[in-house]
Amino acid sequence: MSELFDFAIMSELFDFLKYCQGAKSDVNKVIAGIDWQMLYSFAFKQALLGLCFDGIERLGKEYPEELKLNPIGRELLMTWMGKAQQIRRQNMKVNAEAGKLFSMLREDGFRCCILKGQGNALMYPNPYSRTPGDIDVWVNASREYLTEYAKCHFKLEDDIRFHHLETTLDGVPVELHFFPGIMNNPIYNARLQKWFKRNADLQCSNVVSLPDGIGEIAIPTTAFNVVYQLTHLYHHFFDEGIGMRQIIDYYYVVNNDESLGIRDTLQRELKHLGLWKFAGAVMYVLHEALGLSEETLIAPIDEKRGKLLLAEILNGGNFGKHFTKYGHFTQQGMAKKYFLKIWRNMHFVRYYPAESLSEPIFRTWHFFWRFKHRM
């Protein structure tokens, strides 16, 4: 796909994404003009193959005659179907392991909740269409206590991260979080950690059922997710990059009546945590690319920062794995990647000075902290 991102082509892709999310729109023009191979490449790069295949199945039912005029090649369709079935099986596997992990931790006396991932999937029209990742579980316990417990119950990776431990459950990657996330700037990070502590208990009590009766997990409330998942996007924006899958997750987080009822409170918290400018950028992407209505926005649209964010998303794809600029920094070795990240983040100083300038300092400190705490 061209790095110039032809506006007409991207508009068609975004219209199709809106349709995949359940929009009741007329997609006749989209069907007529869309390049199915380009759509597949876009969906692959952004980890949206399952969601987009759901849209294709819906097209077959609602627009069968229009599809005959611009059919999807059989080989591509079969490949896509196979990927969608694989994503479904992966979700079933990750759901099962998330349910087991939550049950195990609760039985052992921990208060905990599953962050992002399978909780986000429950908001999708088809919870099996979201491409799953690892299992992130926030355990409301001290670093020392959780680390000792984990050493007895899991096979841990060699090093400990500042805010989580890494392990696997039956082949599924798991992160055991001491706290949900971090920010690079020390002042805003201190505020964020206090906010996490104030809101911990309610998140561990919000128990929901997983699909097909496979088990239960606790997931954060909408009020918590609006703030927390924005901090997660913000951190990854400076670390590796974010893709449309994470943006669509956030679309479902904010696109509900609960966030509307607490918007004033949310806005105060976003400003206090240094997230206000980035929130405006995300609102631009949600509005322009996914059609989030203006009355649902949690912050005023920031077009300048929003266009920058959208360009980064389209170039880098899921977690920045496909970046072609910045020296392909996500595909480099540790030393070269370190300096390329600094170079990349210097591009963002005039947009987000506090976080951009703090990122290399935090990353350097974190490297030595991890070295000191190796297990």
CATH code, 199: 3.30.460
- CA–CA dist 254, 277 (Å, integer): 17
What's the pTM?
Answer: 0.93
Burial class of residue 351 (count of CB atoms within 10 Å of its CB; 0-12, 13-18, 19+): middle
Structure tokens at 170: 């039956």
DSSP at 330: G
- 241 and 369 housed in the same domain: yes
- 250 and 262 housed in the same domain: yes
Q: Are 47 and 132 in contact (CB under 8 A)?
A: no
- 226 and 375 housed in the same domain: yes
Structure tokens at 183: 């920010």
- 242 and 339 housed in the same domain: yes
- CA–CA dist 242, 14 (Å, integer): 17
- 233 and 372 housed in the same domain: yes
Structure tokens at 202: 């309610």
| Burial call 255-283: b when 16+ CB within 10 Å, e when fewer | beeebeeebeebeebbeebbbbbbbbbbb
pLDDT score recorded for residue 4:
44
Task: List per-residue pLDDT tens for the chain, 375 residues long.
Answer: 444 456 667 888 999 999 999 887 778 888 988 999 999 999 999 999 999 999 999 999 999 999 999 999 999 999 999 999 999 999 999 999 999 999 999 999 999 999 999 999 999 999 999 999 999 999 999 999 999 999 999 998 776 788 899 999 999 999 999 999 999 999 999 999 999 999 999 999 999 999 999 999 999 999 999 999 999 999 999 988 899 999 999 999 999 888 777 889 999 999 999 999 999 999 999 999 999 999 999 999 999 999 999 999 999 988 778 887 776 667 777 778 888 888 888 999 999 999 999 998 998 888 888 877 776
Q: Are 126 and 55 in contact (CB under 8 A)?
A: no
CA distances, 340 to each of 334, 336, 365 (Å)? 10, 6, 17
Number of domains the chain contains: 3
Report if residue 79 sits inside a domain: no
pLDDT score recorded for residue 130:
97
Report if residue 27 sits inside a domain: yes
- 188 and 239 housed in the same domain: no
Report if residue 85 sits inside a domain: no
Boundary of a domain, candidates 72, 88, 104:
72
- 12 and 116 housed in the same domain: no
Report if residue 277 sits inside a domain: yes
pLDDT score recorded for residue 162:
87
pLDDT score recorded for residue 28:
85
- 295 and 344 housed in the same domain: yes
- 120 and 143 housed in the same domain: yes
- CA–CA dist 6, 19 (Å, integer): 20
Torsion angle of alpha carbons 319, 325, 329, 335, nearest 10°?
Answer: -160
Provide the residue range defining the domain that includes 152.
96-220
Task: Mention every residue, 6+ apart, whose C-beta is less than 8 A from residue 188.
Answer: 273, 274, 354, 355
- 211 and 163 housed in the same domain: yes
Q: Give residue-wise pLDDT tens across range 125-179.
A: 999 999 999 999 999 999 999 999 999 999 987 767 888 999 999 999 999 999 9
- CA–CA dist 253, 226 (Å, integer): 6
- CA–CA dist 278, 233 (Å, integer): 9
pLDDT score recorded for residue 6:
64
pLDDT score recorded for residue 107:
96
- 362 and 258 housed in the same domain: yes
- 148 and 233 housed in the same domain: no
